[in-house]
Structure 1
Amino acid sequence: MKKKLLFAGAVLLMLGLSLWNWQQTSVQKAMLSQSGFVVSHDLKGSPQLLLDHSARRVAVIAIGDTREYDYAQIRQVRYEFDFSASGEVNHRLEIDLQNAPSARETILYPGDFEAEAALKQLLELAR
């Protein structure tokens, strides 16, 4: 009985954190939209990668932080992966930037298919 109660509590905690994360991201997207950013493509990822193709801008939305870049600030985009100590594969896009507060943005993906699809779409659109 005690194990079931602990399990239910853990599930409720995870659901609560997921809801909070979704709410925070929704607020940041709304603020981005109010500033004139029109999301034309959602490349997902963590943090979330959004494109406004008509304005030629990219936005990276993390909890509590939104960063915007012009396509012209992107020097290079590449798909990278490595193995963690537990044997899991970490798939990500590495976006090298110029004339930006940060020299690189790292966007994590659950698998190679998702990361490579986002890479292909970003490279096609940011030409």
Structure 2
Amino acid sequence: MGGMHWFILIVVLLAGLAFYNWQNSQNQLSLLKKQGFTLAEDLKGQPNLLVDIQARELAVVTPKGFQRYHFDRVQSVELRFENGVQQPENYHLYILLDGASPLEIHYENEWLAQDQLNRLHAILP
């Protein structure tokens, strides 16, 4: 196999893996909704951050599962960024929770992360 064949094979494998993860995340979202979560805001990110305003809950959805957190557990939310070797900038929301490990929701750029931070601050008490 030539170099181009390997490249195409890798691209196809990565696309298949991305689709598999997307499908699993959608299954987790369906399960979350079946458990009574009413999606009011989708703050995107990696992992996906969702808001149920009626139940006053945040949910973090990954391909492997989800976690729910009541608004009362949120102690603070801030925008953080790190300069790394592999990525020049890594913007994320840092959500400090009472009685749980902090959540880090990653975004592809500062503008998007700041926009989602502003939306979250408007929602949280």
Name the TM tier (shorter chain): over 0.9
Give the unaligned 5+ runs of structure 2. Answer: none
Q: For residue 53 of structure 2, what is the aligned residue in structure 1?
A: 53
| 1:64 corresponds to | 64
Residues 59 and 66, structure 2, Cα contact 8 Å, conserved in 1: yes
Q: Which residue of 2 is the match for residue 15 of structure 1?
A: 15
TM-score (norm 1): 0.94
Counterpart in the other structure of 1:97: 97
Query: Where in structure 1 do 4 or more consecutive aligned residues deviate above 3 Å?
Result: none
Give me the identity figure in percent: 30
Is the Cα–Cα contact under 8 Å of residues 22 and 63 in structure 2 kept in the other structure?
A: no
Aligned partner of 1:24 in structure 2 is 24
After superposition, the CA RMSD in angstroms is 1.2
Q: Which residue of 2 aligns with 1:34?
A: 34
Which residue is 2:118 aligned to?
Answer: 120
Residue number in structure 2 paired with 1:111:
109
The superposition leaves residues 38-64 of structure 1 with CA deviations (integer Å, 9 ceiling, x where unpaired) of 111100000100001111110001221
CA-CA distance at 1:86 after TM superposition? 3.9
